[in-house]
């Protein structure tokens, strides 16, 4: 900087304060045509400094000592959950390995069935396909992962399941169902032999098509001592508008068989109303089959070893599970 330029700088600062200082710097830069700030020896001072480009994290090669996910209102392939909390430790995407996995679900909805709380915890090194996890939101283990499992189901959630339209439909029986015993009961009830219409409905000789059967309208379950349950069911039995109300009471027992909760030792009472042995047996079988909650999944194989029922409150099962995969998104 020459003497004349320095005097100009001082004069501007004296009379213009900060504004004068900025003006002096601008004029000095314009006159000298020499770079003042040259951090990389290539960018002139009269150009704005450029920030280096952002580099996004390459998760494919990432490694995490602890990866924690907390999710509310999660929607998945064939279910949903009110809350999900997952912790993966020493997770290496490049190697496709992790040391342990802890998963807790609250309010897990599996179709119409609700699990109030489900915990799953693994130990030991697990190998997984990182490509499937990143691209398809599916944690696929290369060999099944063994986990400790606890599931808690409240009496309230059991009643929501029982009152669901799909469950009531499973408990109901109509004469139009293939192979139904009620097609025979219809003839006994009306004094004739049933015939099939083109629509598959049963008709009476000389009569109009009818829908004879048992329709369940509502049900309520209570958890009792000694792993027993009581179900109060209300429905209609008969032919279309001629159906009569039916109040039934069912007592059953919960037990474990082949690692799964089963319903057995079922007794049906109808408050003095007569009901055929065939229909009674059919109802008992339907109650016993309530433990088959939809199709079996190949994702997780449960093997429960302990069942505890708290009367009027909840049931809890503990055991192990072999986990093949966990799905975290809807797939086409």
pLDDT 10s digit of each residue in the chain, 332 long?
555 555 554 554 444 444 444 444 444 444 444 444 444 555 555 666 766 665 555 667 788 899 898 988 877 666 788 999 999 999 998 899 999 999 999 998 877 789 999 999 998 899 999 888 888 888 899 999 999 999 999 999 999 998 998 888 888 876 544 444 444 444 444 433 433 333 333 333 333 344 567 788 899 999 999 999 999 988 887 766 667 787 888 899 999 998 899 888 888 877 666 666 776 777 778 877 777 754 467 888 999 999 999 999 999 999 999 999 888 765 54
pLDDT at 228: 94
Give DSSP secondary structure letters for 147-193.
EEEEEEEEHHHHHHHHHSHHHHHHH-EETTSTT-THHHHHHHHHTS-
Tell me the two tokens of residue 162: 């029982």
pLDDT at 303: 92
118 within 8 A of 86, measured Cβ to Cβ: no
What Cα–Cα distance (Å) separates residue 270 from each residue in 23, 67, 248, 249, 267? 99, 56, 4, 6, 10
Claim: this prediction has a pTM higher than 0.85 = no
Tell me the two tokens of residue 118: 């489900």
Domain ranges of the chain: 1-30, 63-152+320-327
pLDDT at 283: 75
pLDDT at 45: 58
State how far the Cα of 18 lies from the Cα of 79, in Å rounded to an integer.
65
Burial category of 322 from C-beta neighbours within 10 Å (exposed 0-12, middle 13-18, buried 19 and up): middle
State how far the Cα of 84 lies from the Cα of 167, in Å rounded to an integer.
26
pLDDT at 233: 87
């Amino acid at each position: 900087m020459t003497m004349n330029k320095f005097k100009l700088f001082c004069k501007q600062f004296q009379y213009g304060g900060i504004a004068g200082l900025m003006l002096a710097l601008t004029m000095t830069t314009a006159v000298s045509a020499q770079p003042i700030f040259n951090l990389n020896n290539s960018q002139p001072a009269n150009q704005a400094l450029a920030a280096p480009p952002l580099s996004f994290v390459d998760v494919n090669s990432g490694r995490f000592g602890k990866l924690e996910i907390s999710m509310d209102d999660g929607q998945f392939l064939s279910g949903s959950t009110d809350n999900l909390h997952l912790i993966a430790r020493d997770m290496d995407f490049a190697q496709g390995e992790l040391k342990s996995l802890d998963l807790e679900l609250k309010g897990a909805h599996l179709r119409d069935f609700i699990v109030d709380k489900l915990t799953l915890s693994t130990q030991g090194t697990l190998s997984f396909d990182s490509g499937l996890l990143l691209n398809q939101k599916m944690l696929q283990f290369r060999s099944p992962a063994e986990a400790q499992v606890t599931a808690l189901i409240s009496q309230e959630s059991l009643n929501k399941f029982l009152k669901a339209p799909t469950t009531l439909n499973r408990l109901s029986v109509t004469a139009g169902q293939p192979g139904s015993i009620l097609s025979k009961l219809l003839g006994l009830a009306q004094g004739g032999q049933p015939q099939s219409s083109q629509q598959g409905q049963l008709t009476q000789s000389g009569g109009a098509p009818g829908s004879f059967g048992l329709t369940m309208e509502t049900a309520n379950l209570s958890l009792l001592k000694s792993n027993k349950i009581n179900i109060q069911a209300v429905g209609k039995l008969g032919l279309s508008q001629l159906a009569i109300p039916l109040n039934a009471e069912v007592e059953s027992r919960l037990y474990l068989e082949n690692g799964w909760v089963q319903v057995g030792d079922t007794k049906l009472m109808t408050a003095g109303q007569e009901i055929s042995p065939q229909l009674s047996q059919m109802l008992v079988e339907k109650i016993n089959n309530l433990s088959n909650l939809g199709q079996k999944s190949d994702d997780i194989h449960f093997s429960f070893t302990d069942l505890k029922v708290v009367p009027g409150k909840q049931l809890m099962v503990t055991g192990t599970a072999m986990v093949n995969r966990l799905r975290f998104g809807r797939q086409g």
